[in-house]
Structures are given as C-alpha cells and as structure tokens.
Amino acid sequence: MELLFQTVIDGLLIGGLIIVVGIGFSLCFGVMHIVDFAVGEWVMLGAYLGYLLVAYFGYDPMVFLPLIFLIFCGLGWLIYPLIYRAVSGKRHNPVIMGLVFTFGLSIIAKGGALSIWGHHIKSITTWLSGKSIMLGIGTVPALRFSGFVFGILVTIIFMIFLYKTRAGIIIRATAQDRDTASLMGVDVRRTGAFVYSLYAGITGMSGVLIGSLFSIHAAMGAKYTTLAFFVVVLAGMGYVPGVIIAALVLGLLQSFVGVYVGGRYTLAALFIVMYGVLLITPKGILRRGI
C-alpha cells in the first residue's frame, strides 16, 4: 500500500512539471500551427542559464526565475520573425516548414551547448536539495514537490490570462480561426510573436527547475521534446486545458511503468498509449483538439 501511494505521488509530481513544458507547446501549435521540435532545447538552455547564474552570483536558482523568463521571452521574440518567414510562404506546407525550421534550431542549440560545455554533466543545487516533506504515509522530495507547485501555479496564472484578459481572448480567437481573427482586426503576426515569446519564456523557466531535479547536459532536450509531443497528442492538438489532464496521466504512467514493470519500458508504454489514443480518438482524450 505504501509503495502504491508513493508511486501515485511521484507520478503526480512528474506530471506537474510536464504541464509547464506542454502548455506552451500546445498553445504554440494552436495559434501558429507549428510543431516546435526545439521545445526540449529551450528547456536545456534554460537549465544551463540557471546553472551559469547560480555559479556566477551564488544565489538560489529560484531567485532568477523571473529574470530567466524575461530573457527567454526576448529570445523568442527575436526568433519568431524567422519562423514566420519560414512558415508563411504560399509555395510550401507551413506545418512541414515549421518542423524543418525548428528541427534546425534544435540542432544549432544542441551543437552550441556541446561546443561550450562538451559532454560534461552539470547540476544545480538549491536550498531544497536533499530535503523531504511528509505527506500521509509517504515522503516526497521537497524540490520535486516545489516543481509540482510551480507547475500548477504557472498553469493557473496562464489559464486566468487566457480566459480573463483581452489579450487572452485575442490569442484564443486566433487559435480557433486565424483568417476570421485577421478579418476582425487582429494582428495575427504580432499575436504569434507574443505567443511564441511567452512560450519560450515559460519553457526556459521550467528548465531551471528541471535542471535542479535532474542532470544537465547538451542531449537532455530530446527527452522533453518527446514528452511535450506526447502530452499535446493526448490532450488534443491545440487544446490547452487538456494539457493538464494529459500531463498528469503521462506522469502517472511513467511512474507506474517504472516501478512495476521497469524503467527501460517507459518509452515503449508511452508510444503504445499515444497510438492507442490516436486510433480511438484522434482529437485527444477529451476529444477537443484540432
């Protein structure tokens, strides 16, 4: 019973962190119809930036979260015109061009990280590292619990922004129908730039927490790109609220497979579940996707 409780708790904690990576990825696809293969590299770069700031200034990495968010928002804003130019041509399929462009970005980011840090593994230490919290009959690592809380808070703030502000209404209208939104006076290009910068900021910020929980290396991005893709497919492509449920389901699945079957079978289990969902309901588990 205790093992079952611990497995469920670990799964929910993992899912809470995956939400942060998946929610921006889903919105990015919903507004711009871009499947960003560089999402894992945003996580990796955020982790490395957190490591550098901690190494240089010596403060706890949580102090730098707002700064890292702003830095990555700026990077996203600068990169978006290049993406828009790649996907807006009438001679090419915009989805394919978005895949190709972001795949190139991921290679550049990974190659740059390898050139600077090589294959050396880094880690970020916080004041929560090594501490635990008692929950009922089990213990939870304090750092992983804080990551879960961070994921839930970011999600709540993000959903309030999407559904209670004028900018959020514009973003949702653009995601539902770009052409109609444009006819109603929405600057689709500027909205896309804002969404991509917001997505880059949230994802880069999550990299700091992921870097505090796990090891940091140049090849870490591929794992989180895969997880983000799985979450978005399970949630329904472009359906942001579904990301919450999908990420928690994915976290629980990883935890149960890792404990009761074996860690080596986790990825296979994720693929089986994803293909099963696509066969039964291609629009995601809530049947609300594109």
Identify the pLDDT of residue 30: 74
Answer yes or no: is 145 within a domain: yes
- The boundaries of the domain holding residue 216 are 2-220
Residue given tokens 């399970």 in the structure block:
234
CA 63 to chain centre: 21
User: Does 277 map to a domain?
Assistant: no
Q: What is the pLDDT of residue 288?
A: 66
- Rg over alpha carbons for the chain, rounded to the nearest Å, is 19
pLDDT score recorded for residue 230:
85
Q: How many domains does the chain have?
A: 1
Total length of the chain: 290
Check: CB of residue 36 under 8 Å from CB of residue 98.
yes
Residue stretches of the chain with pLDDT short of 50: none
The Cα–Cα gap between 175 and 87 comes to 16
| Domain-located, residue 28 | yes
Residues facing residue 139 across a β-bridge? 134
Would you state the pLDDT for residue 91? 57
Evaluate whether residue 230 is within a structural domain.
no
Q: Which residue has the tokens 């809470």?
A: 16
Q: Does some domain include residue 272?
A: no
Q: What is the pLDDT of residues 47-103, one digit of tens each?
A: 999 999 888 887 878 888 889 999 999 999 999 888 888 777 665 677 778 788 888
Q: Using an 8 Å Cβ cutoff, are 202 and 155 in contact?
A: no
Determine, yes or no, domain membership for 191: yes
Would 99 be classed as within a structural domain? Answer: yes
Question: What is the reported pLDDT for 58?
Answer: 79
Q: Report yes or no on 215 lying in a domain.
A: yes
Strands 132-135 and 138-141: antiparallel
